[in-house]
Amino acid sequence: MSNADEGYERLSYETRQGFWDLLESPKVIHFVLAIAVLTVIVPIFWEVLTSLKTNEAVYNLTYFPRNPTLSSYYEVLIGESYWRAVVNSVIISTATTIAVIILAVPAGYAFSRYRFRGDNVLFIGVLFSRLFPPIGLIVPYYQIMSWLGLLNSLPGIIIAQVYLWLPLMIYIMRNFFMSIPTDLDESARVDGCTQLQAFRKIALPLALPGVAASAILTFLYSWREFLFSLIVTTDLKSMPISVAVYQFVGDVSVQWASLAAASVIAIVPTILVVVFFQRYIVSGLTAGALKE
């Protein structure tokens, strides 16, 4: 091989590496991240700015409010009694979370530990109910709630939320329990535990990060759920905030400032939950952090 060939080979290699080095360089990474963050932030930024205007001032077409005011918040929460929707959302999300965790944790444990006739079919059945597009179930669900007299009621929404999120949480908990060695349960049973005690004293404490993650996700998901809540409720007495926000979109006009204020009110709890609990979400979803 001649020197020229060698030089060409090396140059080519270095050129190629140079391209990848550039892609990995802090400048490029920061640039890409900045675009991603902006994409997420700008709508929220717009929403906060708009919420500081009045419904009339929105049409002044300035980016920043000329006379920043909290009047939209006051109007929405007190004037329109939207505090009720916030309370409803808290009740719905909390009740849903409690119900889902009580059901999903033992179910996930059972699926992770016990082999029984038809266990796989049952598990796929659980997941399948979630693969079904929810919109396809809206009409029967409305019918059922109507028969049960649960339209315009909190239980009518909570049942829907539990139905929606339980399969996913069973799946997450099953995977989390599978990352806990079966040896530990068996050892506990030899040491003197019943099967239920082995679950309560050994497996459950070790699965707490997964339980926390499931609880937080259930809370967030049911907080923001819109479709089922929309068809079950027409009344602010039982309406969650996610649906209530939509009330400002009228047939002929949109009350932009009120809509923005209501949206910010709906988002704030979500942000707080994520800020305070993100560590659990991450650790819970990266199951397998538990080494034998």
**Residues near other proteins (CB under 8 A):** 115, 117, 181, 183-184, 186-194, 197, 201-202, 205-206, 290-292
Length, in residues, of the chain: 292
Q: How far is the CB of 182 from other proteins (least distance, A)?
A: 9
Nearer to other proteins, 66 or 117 (CB): 117
Nearer to other proteins, 126 or 208 (CB): 208
Q: How far is the CB of 288 from other proteins (least distance, A)?
A: 13
* Residue 71, both tokens: 């009047």
Nearer to other proteins, 56 or 183 (CB): 183
Q: How far is the CB of 198 from other proteins (least distance, A)?
A: 9
Nearer to other proteins, 206 or 285 (CB): 206
Q: How far is the CB of 282 from other proteins (least distance, A)?
A: 19
- Contacting residues for 256 by C-beta, under 8 A, at least 6 apart: 50, 53, 55, 58, 248
CA distance 266 to 207: 31
Q: Helical H runs in 151-255?
A: 154-178, 182-191, 195-198, 204-224, 227-232, 241-244
CA distance 254 to 246: 10
CA distance 266 to 255: 16
Q: How far is the CB of 254 from other proteins (least distance, A)?
A: 53
Nearer to other proteins, 27 or 115 (CB): 115
Nearer to other proteins, 103 or 204 (CB): 204
Nearer to other proteins, 103 or 184 (CB): 184
**Is-contact 88 239, C-beta < 8 A?**
yes
Q: How far is the CB of 264 from other proteins (least distance, A)?
A: 41
Closest CA to 196 of 106, 94, 85, 78: 106
CB burial class (10 A; 0-12, 13-18, 19+) of residue 70? exposed
* Residue 138, both tokens: 């809206």
**Is-contact 243 230, C-beta < 8 A?**
yes
Q: How far is the CB of 219 from other proteins (least distance, A)?
A: 25
